[in-house]
Structure 1
């Protein structure tokens, strides 16, 4: 189960009181109760925290994912707008193997001729692989004309 550090931080921030109470109860149990009963109670308390956190972490994780997706969509829109603005400054480097790299002050677009997809970096941050749309195609063509 791969969990984001932000998810854990948000969970701890929202549930710090429950965690503190559970730790106090665990310390009391460890100090006053003996052997088998002690460890049974520790296991029950630990299970409660794990079950409780699992539900909350899933909800928090979904919220973080939604916000991340929205941020990526906004960044993609900004990158496409930047392609329109910086197309005249675009410099293309074509390699012998059919790959190319287009650079502007804020963008880097790499791809393979005829592939239909490109990898986009905006301000040095990778935004993933995108299908070539009209805006990207116009950007590529303008970069080729600038050469």
Structure 2
């Protein structure tokens, strides 16, 4: 969303926004129930609809913010893999599954699979492909660390 669009909207519709704000304050002061919040939401929704912002634009904005947040989280998880590889513990399962844990990471996968599930500080950051060099190095160091008994 462009800030100039908002500036133009406010300049062109300042009277509508002012009336909506006055109505919101009146509703908040006079109505003392849950109904007041429903009315406030309706007023805000009406102003948004009146502004010309489409649900598609809102959806795109939310998607962009989500993608950026997940990207940042993945980047932090990779950095943490490099730092915590020496502390990681590899625990193989009987059915070919394995779990690698470190203070901030948990990697779960199975032998022969090209994907693993990664959790960073208890939050899932999705399934990662084993094509990632940092991830492969983390797994190898965890195996070595566990087999050496350190």
Q: For this structure pair, what is the TM-score category when the shorter chain's length is used for normalisation?
A: 0.5 to 0.7
> Which residue does the alignment assign to 2:68?
70
- The CA deviation string for residues 110-147 of structure 1, in whole angstroms up to 9 with x for no partner, is 00112111100001000110101111111101010111
Instruction: In structure 2, list runs of 5 or more residues that go unmatched.
Output: 1-16, 22-45
Corresponding position: 1:137 with 2:136: yes
CA distance in 1 between counterparts of 2:76 and 2:111 reads 24
Runs of 4+ in 1 over 3 A off after TM superposition: 52-55
Cα RMSD over matched residues? 2.7
The TM-score normalised by the length of structure 1 is 0.63
Instruction: In structure 1, list runs of 5 or more residues that go unmatched.
Output: 1-16, 22-48
Secondary structure of the equivalent of 2:58?
Answer: helix
By how many angstroms is 1:60 displaced?
1.3
- The CA deviation string for residues 20-50 of structure 1, in whole angstroms up to 9 with x for no partner, is 69xxxxxxxxxxxxxxxxxxxxxxxxxxx6x
